[in-house]
Amino acid sequence: MGQIRILTDELINKIAAGQVVERPASVVKELVENSLDAGATDISVEVEEGGCRLIRVQDNGCGMNGDDALLAFERHATSKVKELCDLDKIATLGFRGEALPSIASVSKVRIVTSDGNPSSGSEILIEGGKIQDVRVAGRGRGTTLEVRGLFYNTAVRRKFLKSRETELSHITGIMTETALAHPGVYFTLKHHDRTLIKSPGVSSILERSVQLLGKDARGNLMELEEGREGLRLFGLISIPGFTKPSGTGLSFFVNRRPVSDRTLRHAVYAAYETLLMKGRHPLVYLFLDVDPALVDVNVHPAKREVRFTDPKRIHDFTRDSVRKTAQGYGRAQEDERPSPWPASERVERVKEAVESYLRTAGEHRFHEERTTGRPAFTGRIQPEPGKPAPAVRALFDKERLVPLGQIADSFIITQDRDGLILIDQHAAHERILYEKFKQVYRLSKIPVQQLLIPVNLELSGKERILLAEHLKTLRRLGIEVEDFGRGTFSVKGVPMWVADMDIQEIVRSLLEEIVALEQGGELDRRMEDIIHVFSCRAAVKANRRLSREEMEALIRDLGETDSPHTCEHGRPTM
Ligand SMILES: Nc1ncnc2c1ncn2[C@@H]1O[C@H](COP(=O)(O)OP(=O)(O)OP(=O)(O)O)[C@@H](O)[C@H]1O
Ligand SMILES: [Mg+2]
Mutate to test the pocket of ligand 1, among 32, 68, 78, 305 (most ligand atoms within 8 A of CB): 78
3-state secondary structure of 526: coil
Atom nearest to 92 CA in ligand 1: 21
Residues 56-107 have pLDDT tens digits of: 999 999 999 999 999 999 988 888 887 777 777 788 999 889 999 999 999 9
| pLDDT for residue 221 | 86
Q: Which residues contact 554 (CB under 8 A, 6 or more apart)?
A: 412, 423, 425, 428, 429, 432, 540, 546
Q: What percent of the chain has pLDDT over 70?
A: 78
Q: Is the CB of 34 under 6 A from ligand 1?
A: yes
In the reported structure, the alpha carbon of residue 166 is separated from the centroid of ligand 1 by a whole-number distance in angstroms of: 27
pLDDT digits (tens, 9 = 90+) for 382-435: 334 444 433 333 345 555 677 777 777 777 777 766 667 777 777 777 777 777
pLDDT, position 189: 97
Mean pLDDT, to the nearest integer, of 220-240? 91
Residue 254 pLDDT > 90, yes or no? yes
Q: Is any ligand 1 atom within 6 A of the Cβ of residue 388?
A: no
Tell me what the pLDDT averaged over the chain comes to: 80
Ligand 1 pocket member 98 (CB < 6 A) = yes
For the chain, list the domains and their CATH numbers: 9-201 (3.30.565.10), 206-332 (3.30.230.10), 338-364+398-574 (3.30.1370.100)
Q: Kindly identify the ligand whose nearest atom is closest to the C-alpha of 115.
A: 1
How far away, in angstroms, is 76 Cα from ligand 2 center? 11
Atom number, ligand 1, closest to the C-alpha of residue 102: 18
Res 30: pLDDT: 96
Determine if ligand 1 sits within 6 Å of the CB of residue 70. no
Q: What number of other Cβ atoms are within 10 A of residue 25's Cβ?
A: 23
| Whether the predicted pLDDT of 197 surpasses 80 | yes
Q: 478 C-alpha to center of ligand 1: Å?
A: 49
- For residue 143 and ligand 1, the question of a CB distance below 6 A is answered with yes
Tell me if 62 CB under 6 Å of ligand 1: yes
Supply the residue whose CA is at minimum distance from atom 27 of ligand 1: 94
121 touches 113 (CB < 8 A)? yes
In the predicted model, is pLDDT for residue 340 greater than 90? no
100 within ligand 1 shell (Cβ under 6 A): yes
SS3 call for 547: coil
Tens digits of residue pLDDT in 129-160? 999 999 999 899 999 999 999 999 988 888 88
Find the 97 Cα to ligand 1 centroid distance in Å: 6
Q: Which of 104, 82, 85 is nearest to 30 (CA)?
A: 104
Rounded distance between C-alpha atoms, residue 121 and residue 68, angstroms: 11
Identify the nearest ligand to the CA of 97 by its number: 1
Q: How far apart are CA 463 and CA 487, in angstroms?
A: 9
Q: Is pLDDT above 60 for 530?
A: yes
- CA dist 336 to 78, 318, 330, Å? 54, 27, 9
Distances (CA, A) of 446 to 60, 208, 495, 534: 53, 40, 6, 13
Chain mean position to CA 474? 19
**Dihedral sign computed on CA atoms, order 506, 508, 514, 520:** negative
Ligand found nearest the CA of 67: 1
Query: From the CA of 61, how far away is ligand 1's center (Å)?
Result: 11
User: What local confidence, expressed as pLDDT, does residue 391 receive?
Assistant: 36
Does any ligand 1 atom lie closer than 6 A to the CB of residue 96?
yes
CA distance 402 to 394: 16
Q: How far is the CA of 110 from the centre of ligand 1 (A)?
A: 15
Length of the chain: 574
Which ligand sits nearest to residue 113's alpha carbon? Answer: 1
pLDDT at 393: 38
pLDDT at 361 over 60: no
Q: Is the CB of 32 under 6 A from ligand 1?
A: no
pLDDT digits (tens, 9 = 90+) for 444-483: 777 788 888 888 888 888 888 888 888 887 888 788 888 8
C-alpha to C-alpha distances, 177 to 208, 212, 234, 493, nearest whole angstrom: 11, 9, 14, 33
How far away, in angstroms, is 395 Cα from ligand 2 center?
68
Dihedrals phi, psi of 215, to nearest 5 degrees? -65, -30
Site to probe by mutation for ligand 1, drawn from 41, 59, 100 as the one with most ligand atoms within 8 Å of Cβ, is 100
Residues 6+ apart with CB under 8 A from 365: 404, 405
- Positive or negative torsion for Cα 160, 165, 166, 171: positive
The atom number, within ligand 1, closest to the CA of 94 reads 26
CA of 93 to the centre of ligand 1 (A): 9
Strand intervals (E) in 339-463: 402-407, 411-416, 419-424, 448-456
Residue to mutate, 28, 35, 37, ligand 1, most ligand atoms under 8 Å from C-beta: 37
- Which tops the pLDDT comparison, 31 or 90? 31
Ligand nearest to the CA of 21: 1
Residue nearest to atom 24 of ligand 1 (CA): 94
H runs (alpha helix) in 455-559: 461-469, 471-476, 503-519, 527-538, 548-559
Asked if residue 80 has its Cβ within 6 Å of ligand 1, the reply is yes
- Expressed in angstroms and rounded, the spacing between residue 461 Cα and the centre of ligand 2 is 25
The residue type of 405 is G
Q: How would residue 263 be classed by pLDDT, with cut points 50, 70 and 90?
A: very high
Does residue 38's CB lie within 6 angstroms of at least one atom of ligand 1?
A: yes
Distance in Å, CA 169 to ligand 2 centroid:
22
For 437-478, the DSSP string reads HHHHHHTT-PPEEEEEEEEEP---HHHHHHHHHTHHHHHHTT
Q: How far apart are CA 262 and CA 252, in angstroms?
A: 10
Partner residues linked to 143 by β-bridges? 59, 113
